[in-house]
Amino acid sequence: MVVNKLGVAMDILMSAGLRIAGFYNYWVVISLMMTGFYIVISHGNLIKKIIGLSIFQTSVFIFYISMANVEGGSAPILNSEIVQYSNPLPHVLILTAIVVAIATTALALALVVRIKEAFGSVEEEEIQALVEKNKDAKAC
Amino acid sequence: MELFVNVILLSFLLAIALAIVRMKDLFAVIMLAGIYGLLSASFFVVVDAVDVAITEAAVGAGVFTLLMLVATVMAGRYEQGARHKPLLALAVVFITGSLLIYGSLDMPAFGYGPAPDHQHVDSHYINESMSEVGVPNIVTAVLASYRGFDTLGELLVIFTAGVAVMALLSTLYDSHSNLGTGPENKWLYEQQMPIRLVVKILIPFIMLFAFYIQFHGDYGPGGGFQAGLILASAIILYAMLFGIRTAKQVISPRFYQCLSAFGILLYGGVGVVALLNGEHFLDYSVLFTDPLAGQHVGIVLVELGIGCTVFSTMILIFLNFYERKNNQLDGCQ
């Protein structure tokens, strides 16, 4: 009787575990996305902000690739011995997105470098203080 | 087992992301970001996205880390402690996250075969691409043929970003930039002999691998994007260890600029040739007497165009950053 109950409990736990495992990717994606979002809105350092943005981007990549996965599937390269393939379309979208992301990140970094040269700082608050000071000086 | 590896890798990613939030030393943060890129590449291998994995490995662990390092040298290594209203930010993030998690409960479970996103064009690509395009790697078939127009647009974005970086940072033709790289090079010659020896042996193999990926991309994982990135990282590695002047003597920046534009023109040119032959833009079937052979020729040419543009744009971006840094350092002295 006790063994039976234990077995039932184990079954429930196992199915709950599998259910959580089925959603685990999405939850990690959401956590990563929110981590990146937090860095972007709460940190003042512009380089750190760009790193936060790239974490955000990567979470979207992971989301798409997770959705492309099919259980028991294989990489989408045709072979007569394979019956089940993963979905190739998200792979294409993300592959190009990664390269576009690095190019746009480089552009953002170039802007940061120019900001550093112009203001002597990459901290948002210092830059804002400098801008305010310049405004006051002009008003006088 | 696959699920287990998947869970472990994702947990590592999350831990690294949290460490990145807490750390103030940007050098350490960038190193962590490099590990993050490598781990996500491993994750992509586990979930069968091999083409994406090669790209992410070259970008996340390679080019991204290098660019960030150069930018950090210029912008300062340490971040200030102060944060904007961390509690408010935390609340916003928490609420958004909870809503997203609530939304995710309606998603089909990970790896569920009959999920809606596998029901539309996906089965067409898998079942018909061999007879319509004739290339074993479905990702390449979709990238270069079915969605060729989209890829052309993305290539243009990369090219434009490269041009914008040049507009912002270019010192390549300043007379000033030809001066003080001497002492740095001497220092390099004395200090890093073992690394330089190892890299000198490695570079030919990296380049060979890049060319293999470029020209084998229609049969196995790979293609122009990956090959361009890997080839670019080989040249960047060379420039870092042997000095930017030596690298510029090997291939001049003017060549990269021309190559970058040439890639786009080659891609667009293939489309125009198809157009002139009475077909749609970028429909490669008319490039050869046999439609399948035409598709193959078209894909090889288009991938070559992608490779050229990605390769030279990445190098141009890096060269511009590096030159700017050298000029800044000279300015300080």
**Chain B from 188 to 217: CB within 8 A of any A CB:** none
Which chain B residues are Cβ-neighbours of A55 within 8 angstroms? 17, 20, 33, 36
Q: Residue B172 pLDDT > 70, yes or no?
A: no
Q: Residue A79 pLDDT > 60, yes or no?
A: yes
Domain ranges of chain B: 1-105, 137-333
Per-residue pLDDT band for B184 (boundaries 50, 70, 90) equals low
Which two tokens mark A66? Answer: 């997770």
**% of residues, chain B, pLDDT over 70:** 92
Distance from CA of B25 to the nearest CA of A (A): 10
Determine what percent of chain B falls in helix, strand and coil, rounding each to the nearest 5.
80, 0, 20
What does CATH list as the number for A2-76+83-139? Answer: 1.10.287.3510
Distance from CA of A33 to the nearest CA of B (A): 8
Say if CB A75 and CB B130 are below 8 A apart: no
Q: Which helix (H) or strand (E) holds B140?
A: helix B138-141
Which chain B residues are Cβ-neighbours of A47 within 8 angstroms? 26, 68, 71-72, 75, 79
Would an 8 Å CB–CB cutoff place B66 in contact with chain A? Answer: no
Does residue B222 come out as left (phi exceeding 0), alpha (psi in the -120 to 50 range) or beta? Answer: left
Beta bridge partners of B25: B78
**Chain A from 66 to 95: CB within 8 A of any B CB:** 66-79, 84-92, 94-95
Contact B158 A112 (CB under 8 A): no
3-state secondary structure of B171: coil
Distance from CA of B251 to the nearest CA of A (A): 22
Contact A43 B83 (CB under 8 A): yes
| pLDDT for res B332 | 56
Q: Residue B193 pLDDT > 90, yes or no?
A: no
Which residue in this structure is represented by tokens 């099919």?
Answer: A70
> How much is the ipTM here?
0.90
Q: Residue B277 pLDDT > 70, yes or no?
A: yes
Q: Using alpha carbons, select from A46, A81, A108, A5 the residue that is nearest to residue B80.
A: A46
Which chain A residues are Cβ-neighbours of B89 within 8 angstroms? 38, 41-42
Distance of alpha carbon B127 from alpha carbon B115, whole angstroms: 18
pLDDT tens digits for B21-30?
999 899 999 9
Would an 8 Å CB–CB cutoff place B111 in contact with chain A? Answer: yes
| pLDDT for res B173 | 60
Which chain A residues are Cβ-neighbours of B48 within 8 angstroms? 68-69, 73-76, 86
Distance from CA of B113 to the nearest CA of A (A): 5
| pLDDT for res B207 | 94
pLDDT tens digits for B136-169?
999 999 999 999 999 999 999 999 999 999 999 9
Distance from CA of A104 to the nearest CA of B (A): 6
Q: Residue A64 pLDDT > 60, yes or no?
A: yes
Would an 8 Å CB–CB cutoff place A46 in contact with chain B? Answer: yes
Would an 8 Å CB–CB cutoff place A103 in contact with chain B? Answer: yes
Which residue in this structure is represented by tokens 């196995």?
Answer: B220
Where would I find the beta strands (DSSP E) of B2-87? none
Nearest to A65 among B47, B79, B85 (CB): B47
Nearest to B161 among A104, A112, A114 (CB): A104
Cα B242 from chain centre: 23
Distance from CA of B193 to the nearest CA of A (A): 30
Which chain A residues are Cβ-neighbours of B225 within 8 angstroms? 95-96, 99
Residue of B78 and B181 predicted with greater confidence: B78
| pLDDT for res B179 | 47
| pLDDT for res A7 | 83
Say if CB B147 and CB A92 are below 8 A apart: yes
| pLDDT for res B16 | 96
Per-residue pLDDT band for B180 (boundaries 50, 70, 90) equals very low
Distance from CA of A2 to the nearest CA of B (A): 30
Kindly state the average pLDDT of the residues B311-326.
91
Q: B198 — phi, psi (to 5°)?
A: -60, -45
What Cα–Cα distance (Å) separates residue B101 from each residue in A20, A61, B105?
Answer: 12, 17, 7
Q: Residue B120 pLDDT > 90, yes or no?
A: no
Distance from CA of A56 to the nearest CA of B (A): 10
Q: How many residues are recorded in chain B? A: 333
Which chain B residues are Cβ-neighbours of A32 within 8 angstroms? 13-14, 17
Kindly state the average pLDDT of the residues A62-69.
92
Would an 8 Å CB–CB cutoff place A30 in contact with chain B? Answer: yes
Contact B113 A70 (CB under 8 A): yes
| pLDDT for res B177 | 47
Q: Using alpha carbons, select from A87, A99, A9, A131 the residue that is nearest to residue B111.
A: A87
Q: How many CB pairs under 8 A join A and B?
A: 289
Would an 8 Å CB–CB cutoff place A57 in contact with chain B? Answer: no
**Which DSSP symbol is given to B119?**
S
Distance of alpha carbon A104 from alpha carbon A101, whole angstroms: 5
Kindly state the average pLDDT of the residues B108-117.
85
Per-residue pLDDT band for B278 (boundaries 50, 70, 90) equals confident
**Chain B from 212 to 241: CB within 8 A of any A CB:** 219-221, 223, 225, 229
Q: Residue A17 pLDDT > 50, yes or no?
A: yes
Q: Which residue of B has its CA nearest to A80?
A: B136
Per-residue pLDDT band for B258 (boundaries 50, 70, 90) equals very high
Q: Which helix (H) or strand (E) holds A125?
A: helix A124-139
